[in-house]
Amino acid sequence: MKVAVLSFAHVHAAGYLRLLARMPGVEVLGSDPDTDLAAPGEVRGRPLADELGVPYAATYEEVFAWHPDAVIVCSENARHRPLVELAAAHGVDVLCEKPLAASVEDGEAMVAACRAAGVRLAVAFPVRFSPAYAAVKAAVDSGDAGQVLTVSGANNGSMPTRSRRWFAEPQLSGGGALMDHTVHIADLLDDLFGDARPVEVYAQTNNLLYADEVDVETSGLVSVTYSNGAVATIDCSWSHPRSHHSWGGLELTVVGERATLEMDAFDQKVHGFSERRGQGVELPFGVDLDERMLNAFLYGPGEDGMDVADGEGGLRTLRVVAAGYASARDGAPVPVG
% of residues, the chain, pLDDT over 90: 86
Mean pLDDT of the chain: 95
DSSP-derived secondary structure for 139-192: HHHTTTT-SEEEEEEEEEE--GGGT-GGGG-HHHHSSSHHHHHHHHHHHHHHHH
DSSP-derived secondary structure for 182-208: HHHHHHHHHHHTTT--EEEEEEEEE--
Question: pLDDT at position 284, please?
Answer: 67
Residue 293 has pLDDT above 80, yes or no: yes
Question: pLDDT at position 209, please?
Answer: 93
Q: For 102-111, what is each residue's pLDDT tens digit?
A: 999 999 999 9
DSSP element (H, E) containing 314:
helix 311-330
* Between 267 and 330, residue with greater pLDDT: 330
Question: pLDDT at position 275, please?
Answer: 78
Question: 175 burial class (0-12, 13-18, 19+ CB within 10 angstroms)?
Answer: buried
Query: Could you give phi then psi for residue 328, rounded to 5 degrees?
Result: -60, -35
* Between 285 and 36, residue with greater pLDDT: 36
Question: pLDDT at position 283, please?
Answer: 72
Instruction: Determine the Cα angle at 186 with ends 157 and 204, to 5°.
Output: 65
User: What confidence category does residue 40 fall into, taking pLDDT thresholds of 50, 70 and 90?
Assistant: confident
Cβ contact 317:329 at 8 Å: no
Question: pLDDT at position 245, please?
Answer: 67
Cβ contact 100:110 at 8 Å: yes
Residue 269 has pLDDT above 70, yes or no: no
C-alpha pair distances (Å), 69 with each of 3, 81, 86, 218, 308: 6, 19, 14, 38, 17
Question: 255 burial class (0-12, 13-18, 19+ CB within 10 angstroms)?
Answer: middle
* Between 266 and 323, residue with greater pLDDT: 323
Question: pLDDT at position 38, please?
Answer: 85
User: What confidence category does residue 302 fall into, taking pLDDT thresholds of 50, 70 and 90?
Assistant: confident
DSSP element (H, E) containing 262:
strand 260-264
DSSP-derived secondary structure for 248-259: EEEEEEEEESS-
Distance of CA 67 to the CA centre of its chain: 26
Q: For 52-103, what is each residue's pLDDT tens digit?
A: 999 999 999 999 999 999 999 999 999 999 999 999 999 999 999 999 999 9
Q: For 112-133, what is each residue's pLDDT tens digit?
A: 999 999 999 999 999 999 999 9
Average pLDDT (233-238) is: 97
Question: pLDDT at position 303, please?
Answer: 86
Residue 18 has pLDDT above 80, yes or no: yes
Average pLDDT (145-167) is: 95
Least confident of 128-132, 159-163, 298-302: 159-163
Please tell me the distance from the alpha carbon of residue 46 to that of residue 243, in angstroms, as a whole number.
Answer: 31
